[in-house]
């Protein structure tokens, strides 16, 4: 194995270990700390599994949009949408845990003029998102998580 490949492999392993620890920290603290830089803000999205009905938690980058949260169903640039997107598509009510608070939300995929209007902000907000939007073949869902006045109901 070349030195460059070894460095890449070490970086990949480090990132995976870091990501697992970071996810555990954010889930355990209900999204605290919520950011690691001005444009790297994190939330914990709690959805209901579309087939299992079980609560599912995932850590996502988000962009604030007024009192809502904007996320991309990018799945790290994969051509397959992430499982959390399928869960929200089936049951749009969810809970966002951010900065130690829990917020009931309803997910809505932006479309048409509304999607076109927010895309420049999304591209400017995060370089990874900009890359995903430029390279993916599939239509990448831009999802707005809008606050609800009543908490979502969970089946069961």
Question: Bridge-partner residues for 70, per DSSP?
Answer: 63, 144
Highest mean pLDDT among 53-67, 108-122, 131-145: 108-122
Work out the burial of residue 5: count CB atoms within 10 Å of its CB; fewer than 13 is exposed, 13-18 middle, 19 or more buried. Answer: exposed
- Write down the CATH number for the domain with range 3-147: 2.30.110.10
pLDDT band at 61 (very low <50, low <70, confident <90, very high): confident
| Contact (CB, 8 A) for 122 and 73 | no
Q: Please write the tens of the pLDDT for every residue from 10-39.
A: 655 665 676 666 666 666 665 555 455 555
Please check whether residue 148 is in contact with residue 93, taking contact to mean a CB–CB distance below 8 angstroms: yes
Where exactly are the structural domains of the chain? Answer: 3-147
């Amino acid at each position: 194995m070349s030195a460059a490949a070894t460095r890449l492999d070490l970086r990949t392993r480090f990132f995976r270990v870091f990501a697992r620890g970071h996810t555990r920290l954010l889930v355990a603290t209900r999204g605290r700390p919520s950011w690691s830089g001005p444009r790297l803000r994190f939330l914990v999205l709690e959805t209901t599994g579309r087939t299992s009905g079980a609560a599912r938690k995932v850590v996502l980058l988000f962009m604030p949009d007024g009192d809502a949260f904007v996320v991309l169903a990018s799945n790290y640039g994969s051509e397959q949408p992430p499982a959390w997107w399928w869960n929200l598509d089936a049951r749009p009510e969810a809970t966002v845990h951010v900065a130690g608070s829990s917020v009931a939300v309803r997910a809505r995929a932006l479309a048409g003029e509304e999607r076109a209007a927010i895309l420049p902000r999304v591209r400017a907000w995060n370089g990874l998102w900009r890359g995903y939007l430029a390279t993916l073949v599939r239509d990448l869902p831009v999802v707005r998580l809008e606050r609800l006045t009543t908490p979502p109901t969970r089946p069961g």
